[in-house]
Amino acid sequence: MRGLVDRYPKLVLVMDNLSTHFTKNLLELYESAKIIIVRLPKYSPQLNPVEQYWKNIKQWLGTRLSITFKELKKSLEQAIQDTSFTPKRY
């Protein structure tokens, strides 16, 4: 984290409202590093590219015929490497 703060003195993190992002220790870290936190509104996965990414992958995985864990893992690895699952930027 220090390396980021040193390189980018005006650092802004955009995060969802997952409670683990806002523990006492992390809040103290954000404050001491002068990191600006922007929280996404609750129940707004459409604003979070990571949520869109995993939604795309889960939909695709649902169409696969993965019978074993090994096959599911192989399909997931294939999906992660496929850039077509990355949300489009407008």
| Element (DSSP H or E) covering residue 30 | helix 24-32
Q: In the structure, what pLDDT confidence band is assigned to residue 78 with cuts at 50, 70 and 90?
A: very high
Q: Is pLDDT at 77 greater than 90 in this prediction?
A: yes
Helix (H, G, I), strand (E, B) or coil at 1: coil
Show the CA angle centred on residue 54, arms to residues 29 and 23, nearest 5°: 20
Could you tell me the pTM of the whole model? 0.58
The Cα 86–Cα 40 span in angstroms is 20
The Cα 78–Cα 82 span in angstroms is 6
The Cα 38–Cα 73 span in angstroms is 34
